[in-house]
């Protein structure tokens, strides 16, 4: 028996409804747990922890000669999970590192290549963990494609800090810096792009060695600057304490060597949502 026109229309509507329901179900994706690999599949369908599937399309900043003309572009990068942070009972964050790759999916590892920190935020419901917001590029730091040495610290209820410590040398002067990113709610905020932690120019001109062994120093070494500062840092609650020790022997505006200054100082920062403010002391590390 040939179905009536009304029956055909009814069947077509049912089929369309089922198809739409199937499409909607595929678009809403959940993870039952906060396992990092399971969460990675939400912003990056098809991602796996090994092989070429680690390479994903992300929106990363593009370096330009003019800083005011900087922009972001979709970039192929190797993306790796660093931390899963449970902010409260219903909110969590996934922190990642992205390393741009070449045409052979190999991460760029030159001294000028930095790593990029990303953050992806999730909310929990009866269906599981669902991605709420994504930030492919929160901050960049490091050299040779890596962010540096990273860590996570709880600052307060629902408020965490992700840090990346990295170092670099330029014309025989070496330094270290600390990048701080805050996590709260559904947002990651760059709190400080780089607190100077240390400097030394032992490999530059022999001036510091001359201070250590004045009897063996040459006149040229004695006339040069010695930059020699190290530090230790730690969080105490929502405060970041950076303790500096060392010495500075610098030239004045007339290229005359000033008396060597001993360094023993502490800089204290207070972290509040969206801000990291210096509340005491100073950073004695000179720019270079």
State how beta strands 71-88 and 187-200 pair: unpaired
pLDDT tens by residue, the chain, 288 residues: 444 444 343 444 334 343 333 333 344 489 999 999 999 999 999 999 988 999 999 999 887 666 666 688 999 999 999 999 999 999 999 999 999 999 999 999 998 899 999 999 999 999 999 999 999 999 999 999 999 999 999 999 999 999 999 999 988 899 999 999 999 999 999 999 999 999 999 878 889 998 988 888 888 888 899 999 999 999 999 999 999 999 999 999 998 999 999 999 999 999 999 999 999 999 999 988
Which helix (H) or strand (E) is 36 found in, with range? helix 36-40
Residues 6+ apart with CB under 8 A from 266: 241, 242, 243, 244, 280, 281
**Strand residues in the chain grouped as ranges (E):** 55-62, 71-88, 91-100, 115-125, 128-141, 149-156, 159-170, 173-184, 187-200, 226-236, 239-249, 261-272, 275-280
Q: Give the model's pLDDT for residue 63.
A: 75
| CA dist., res. 69 & res. 153, Å (int) | 34
Handedness of CA 80, 83, 86, 91 (dihedral sign): negative
Q: Are 253 and 244 in contact (CB under 8 A)?
A: no
Q: Are 183 and 85 in contact (CB under 8 A)?
A: yes
Only one residue has tokens 């600390």, namely: 178
* DSSP type of residue 257: B
- Residue 250 main-chain phi, psi, to 5 deg: -120, 160
Residues 6+ apart with CB under 8 A from 182: 155, 159, 160, 161, 162, 188, 189, 191, 271, 273, 274, 276
What's the number of CA atoms in the CB half-sphere (13 Å) around residue 29? 12
> What separation, in Å, do the N-terminal and C-terminal C-alpha atoms of the chain show?
88
Which of 159, 155, 153, 149 lies closest to 188 in space, CA to CA? 159
* Sequence spans of domains, the chain: 30-147, 151-288
Q: Are 129 and 123 in contact (CB under 8 A)?
A: yes
Which of 195, 205, 219, 131 lies closest to 172 in space, CA to CA? 205
Q: Are 130 and 156 in contact (CB under 8 A)?
A: no
């Amino acid at each position: 028996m040939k179905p009536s026109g009304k029956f055909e229309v009814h069947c077509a509507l049912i089929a369309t409804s089922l198809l739409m329901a199937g499409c909607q179900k595929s678009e809403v994706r959940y993870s039952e747990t906060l396992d990092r690999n399971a969460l990675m599949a939400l912003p990056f369908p098809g991602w796996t922890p090994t092989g070429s599937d680690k390479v994903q399309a992300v929106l990363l900043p593009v370096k330009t000669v003019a800083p005011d003309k900087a922009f972001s572009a979709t970039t192929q990068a190797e993306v790796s999970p660093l931390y899963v942070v449970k902010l409260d009972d219903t909110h969590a964050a996934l922190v990642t590192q992205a390393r741009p790759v070449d045409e052979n999916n190999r991460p760029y590892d030159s001294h000028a290549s930095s790593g990029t920190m990303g953050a992806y935020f999730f909310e929990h419901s009866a269906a599981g963990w669902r991605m709420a917001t994504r930030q492919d590029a929160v901050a960049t730091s490091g050299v040779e494609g890596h962010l540096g040495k990273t860590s996570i610290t709880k600052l307060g209820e629902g408020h965490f800090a992700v840090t990346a410590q990295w170092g670099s040398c330029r014309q025989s002067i070496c330094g270290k810096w600390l990048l701080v990113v805050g996590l709260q709610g559904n947002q990651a905020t760059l709190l400080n792009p780089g607190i100077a932690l240390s400097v030394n120019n032992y490999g530059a001109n022999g001036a510091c060695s001359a201070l250590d062994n004045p009897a063996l120093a040459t006149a040229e070494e004695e006339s040069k600057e010695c930059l020699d500062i190290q530090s230790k840092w730690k969080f105490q609650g929502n405060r970041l304490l950076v303790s500096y020790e060392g010495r500075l022997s610098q030239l004045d505006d007339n290229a005359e060597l000033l008396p060597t200054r001993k360094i023993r100082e502490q800089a204290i920062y207070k972290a509040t949502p969206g801000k990291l403010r210096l509340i005491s002391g100073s950073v004695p590390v000179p720019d270079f």
